[in-house]
Structure 1
Amino acid sequence: MPLHPQAQAHLDRLAAVNFGNLHTAAPEQARAGARRLTAASVGEPEKVGEVYDRVAATEAGDMLVRIYRPMGVPAGQALPVVVFFHGGGYVLGDLDSHDGLVRALTNGSQSVVVSVDYPLAPENKFPGPVNAGYAATRWVADNADELGVDPARLAVAGDSAGGNLAAAVTLKARAARQPHIGFQLLVYPDLDFRRTNHSIIEFAGKYGNITREAQQWFMNHYITAEDDKLDPLVSPLLEPDLSGLPPAFIITAEYDALRDEGEEYGQRLAAAGVPVTVKRYNGMIHEFLRHPFDDAKIAIGDATAALRNFFDPEALPAT
C-alpha cells in the first residue's frame, strides 16, 4: 500500500531539517541533532506508576538505567520485567529518546521495564554494547527482589539497533545458560551487517531510511574489522543454530530498509522450532513506534499483548 499519510507528513518535516546527511557529521553533532528532533516531536509523556533512574553496578561497569512501573499496580507486588535497549544505530539515542515508547510498553504490558543506557559507539565499539546489554540483563535478574520483579518472567526488547542488542543478548544468555530469558520483542531489528538484502538496498535513502553512505557510517563506528560483520553477535541472522531461543514477536514496517532481515530472522526462528510471530505494518516506516501515528498505537498494543500473553498465558488468547 502507499505510505500512510501520517508517515508522509512526518517525512516531509524530516526532510526540512536535512537529517539525511547525518553521516557527514561527527558523532556528537549527530547526537545533538537527534536530541533536537526528539525534543521537537515529543508530546506530553504518558503517566506511569513510578519512574526513577539508578546506577546498575554490573560486571561490564556501572550503567545508568531507568526503571518504570505501570499504573494501577499495588506497591510490593512482584511484576514481570522487560529489559529494553534503545535504537540509534549504536551511536545515537539515550534514555530520553525512547522514554515515550518505554512508558507505553510499561503500561500496556503491566510490567516493570528497565531501560538501559548502554555505552555508545564509537567510544565503545563491539563487543562493548553487547557485553553491557548482557550484563545489565544479568543485573536485573540478580537484583529481582530489590527491583520488585519476577525473574522467571523476564523478557528483552529493543528497536532497531536495540533490537540487535536484544537478539544478541538472548544468544549470549543461551550460551551461558543464564539468565533465563523467556521472550524477545524485536522492533524493526537490525540483524544483518552484510547489507545485501532487497529492502536494505532498495529503500536506502528513501522513505526516511538512511543512505548507503550513512549505513556504512554507523557500521564503521560500531565494528573494528570487516570480519566483525559475520559475527552472530553483530549479525544474529548469521547464527547457524537458533534452536532453544526464547519465543519472539517481531515487528517490521513495509517501507523500512530493515524489513527483510527482520522477516527472515522470524522465518529462521520458526524453522528452528522457536515460537514466533512476525507482523508487518503496511504503509509504515522505520521508527514508526516512536511517533504519534495511528498504526504506532496498534503496533504497541500488539507488542504489549504479546508480552502479556507470555507473562500470563491464561489471561489472553495465544498470539
Structure 2
Amino acid sequence: MTLDPKAKAFLEQIEQAGGEPLPNLPLAVARKGAREGFIATAGESAWIKKVEEQRIPVEGGDILLRIMTPIAEGPFPVMVYYHGGGWVLGDLDAFDGQLRYMAAACKCIVVGVDYRLAPEHKFPTAVEDAYAALRWVAEYIHLYQGDVNRIIVAGDSAGGNLSAVMTQLVRERGGPTIAKQILFYPTTDLRLLSHSMKELASGYFLSESDMEWFRDCYLRSPKDILNAWASPLLALDFQDLPPALIITAEYDPLRDEGKAYADVLKQAGVPVQYTCYKGMLHTFVTRLGLFDQAKEAIQEMNVFIHQG
C-alpha cells in the first residue's frame, strides 16, 4: 500500500496543527471544527440552476431538506443524500459544496437531508428522519421535475450507513421504491472488528477510537450494535435490494466493512459495482478541493446513475 502524496500532506498538516483527539473535545468544538474542515476543502462551488429548502415534519419536530436542481432539462433522477459525520457531526452547510458539485456533475436533483444528530437524538432517530425524507421525496419531488421512478439513496460514512438501511427498511415497510444505492465508505458493522479497523486503527484521519466515540454517542445501548438498522451488514436477508455502487478508500478503517457489504449483496444476487480508491483516506469524496480522486468517484457515480 502506498499513501497518496496529497493524502500524506493532509495527514501531516493535521499532525502539525496538534489538538485533542476527537473524543476528548467538547461537542460544540468538534462540530465547529468538522464544519470548518469540510468547507475549507470542498473546492469551488459548481453552478446549478436553483437551490430550494423545505422543512418536513418528523416525530417530535421537523427537519430541513435542501433541494438542488442542475442546469439541464428534466425530469431528473433524484439523489436523496445523507451526509457523513458519525451521526454526530456535519450539517447541510458543511456539505453544501459537495452536493452542488454532485447535482451539476450528475445532472440530477440532489436532496440533502439534515437529519437530527446524536447524542441529543439517539438511534433510531436518524433512521426515522432518513425514512421521512425519502417518503417526502417520493410524494412531492415531481413538483421539482424529479422522476419518482429514479430515486437513488446515497451517502458517505454514516450517511452511507443510513442509505444502506433505507434499502432494507423500504422492503420491510412496503415502499417507497428505491432505484439504486450509492455508498461512499459506509459504516456497515458497528462491532468494529474488521481487519482494516485494526490495521488502520490510528494515524489515518479516522481512528478506531473515533468510531467507538461515534458509536457510543449514537446508540442507546450496546444491544443496538447488533440491530440491522445500525449495522446493516448483520441483516438476515439481502435479496431484492437495489443495484449498488460502493466506493471505499484504501487507507480507511471502514474499508473492509464496505467491501464485506458489497460481497453480501453480490452473494444475494444484487448487481454491485465496487471500487476501492488506492492511496485514499476516509472522507476523500467530500474534499473536492484536495483530491482529484474525489471528482473521479463522482464521475463514477454519474455513470452509475444514468446507466441501465
Give the TM-score band, short-chain normalised.
over 0.9
Q: Given the superposition, is the C-alpha separation of residues 208 and 67 from structure 1 closer, same or farther in structure 2, using an over 3 Å criterion?
A: same
User: Unpaired segments of 5 or more residues in structure 1?
Assistant: 314-319
CA distance in 2, matches of 1:62, 1:68: 20
2:77 counterpart of 1:80: yes
2:267 counterpart of 1:277: no
CA distance in 2, matches of 1:186, 1:19: 30
Matching residue of 1:146: 143
Q: In the alignment, residue 194 of structure 1 is paired with which amino acid?
A: R
The Cα of 1:17 is off from its aligned counterpart by 3.1
Q: In the alignment, residue 98 of structure 1 is paired with which amino acid?
A: F
2:291 counterpart of 1:297: no
Q: Is residue 20–residue 205 contact of structure 1 (8 Å, CA) maintained in 2? A: no
The Cα of 1:216 is off from its aligned counterpart by 1.6
Q: Given the superposition, is the C-alpha separation of residues 19 and 187 from structure 1 closer, same or farther in structure 2, using an over 3 Å criterion?
A: farther
Matching residue of 1:9: 9
CA distance in 2, matches of 1:168, 1:110: 25
Matching residue of 1:317: none
2:36 counterpart of 1:40: no
Matching residue of 2:101: 104
Query: Which region of structure 1 is more displaced relative to structure 2, 244-253 or 12-21?
Result: 12-21
Matching residue of 1:246: 242
User: Unpaired segments of 5 or more residues in structure 2?
Assistant: none
Query: Which region of structure 1 is more displaced relative to structure 2, 231-240 or 77-86?
Result: 77-86
Matching residue of 1:182: 179
C-alpha RMSD of the superposition: 1.5
The Cα of 1:98 is off from its aligned counterpart by 1.4
Q: Given the superposition, is the C-alpha separation of residues 8 and 251 from structure 1 closer, same or farther in structure 2, using an over 3 Å criterion?
A: same
CA distance in 1, matches of 2:13, 2:190: 29
CA distance in 1, matches of 2:42, 2:19: 17
Q: In the alignment, residue 144 of structure 2 is paired with which amino acid?
A: L
Q: Given the superposition, is the C-alpha separation of residues 165 and 83 from structure 1 closer, same or farther in structure 2, using an over 3 Å criterion?
A: same
Q: Is residue 243–residue 274 contact of structure 1 (8 Å, CA) maintained in 2? A: yes
The Cα of 1:117 is off from its aligned counterpart by 0.3
CA distance in 1, matches of 2:155, 2:19: 23
CA distance in 2, matches of 1:231, 1:58: 22
The Cα of 1:19 is off from its aligned counterpart by 5.7
The Cα of 1:20 is off from its aligned counterpart by 6.2
Query: Which region of structure 1 is more displaced relative to structure 2, 48-57 or 120-129?
Result: 48-57
Matching residue of 2:123: 126
Structure 2 residue corresponding to 1:263, chosen from 251, 254, 259: 259
Q: Following superposition, which runs of at least 4 residues in structure 1 exceed 6 angstroms of deviation?
A: none
Matching residue of 1:30: 30
Matching residue of 1:21: 21
CA distance in 2, matches of 1:205, 1:163: 22
Q: Given the superposition, is the C-alpha separation of residues 152 and 58 from structure 1 closer, same or farther in structure 2, using an over 3 Å criterion?
A: farther
Matching residue of 1:68: 68
CA distance in 2, matches of 1:20, 1:48: 38
CA distance in 2, matches of 1:19, 1:269: 40
The Cα of 1:60 is off from its aligned counterpart by 6.7
Q: Is residue 159–residue 189 contact of structure 1 (8 Å, CA) maintained in 2? A: yes
Instruction: Determine helix, strand or coil for the equivalent of 2:245.
Output: strand
CA distance in 2, matches of 1:8, 1:254: 13
Q: How many residue pairs end up in the alignment?
A: 306
Matching residue of 1:236: 232
Q: Given the superposition, is the C-alpha separation of residues 19 and 188 from structure 1 closer, same or farther in structure 2, using an over 3 Å criterion?
A: farther
CA distance in 2, matches of 1:285, 1:114: 25
Give matches, 1:157-176, under 5 Å. 157-176=154-173
**Percent identity of equivalent pairs:** 43
Q: Given the superposition, is the C-alpha separation of residues 70 and 20 from structure 1 closer, same or farther in structure 2, using an over 3 Å criterion?
A: farther
The Cα of 1:92 is off from its aligned counterpart by 0.2
The Cα of 1:46 is off from its aligned counterpart by 1.3
Q: Given the superposition, is the C-alpha separation of residues 68 and 60 from structure 1 closer, same or farther in structure 2, using an over 3 Å criterion?
A: farther
CA distance in 1, matches of 2:64, 2:277: 33
Q: Given the superposition, is the C-alpha separation of residues 252 and 42 from structure 1 closer, same or farther in structure 2, using an over 3 Å criterion?
A: closer
Q: In the alignment, residue 12 of structure 1 is paired with which amino acid?
A: E
The Cα of 1:189 is off from its aligned counterpart by 0.3
- What is the CA deviation profile of residues 31-79 of structure 1, one whole-angstrom value per residue up to 9, with x for unaligned ones? 01112223433433111121122212346742111111112x14xx321
CA distance in 2, matches of 1:193, 1:234: 7
Q: Given the superposition, is the C-alpha separation of residues 56 and 148 from structure 1 closer, same or farther in structure 2, using an over 3 Å criterion?
A: farther
Q: Is residue 60–residue 132 contact of structure 1 (8 Å, CA) maintained in 2? A: no
Q: In the alignment, residue 131 of structure 2 is paired with which amino acid?
A: Y
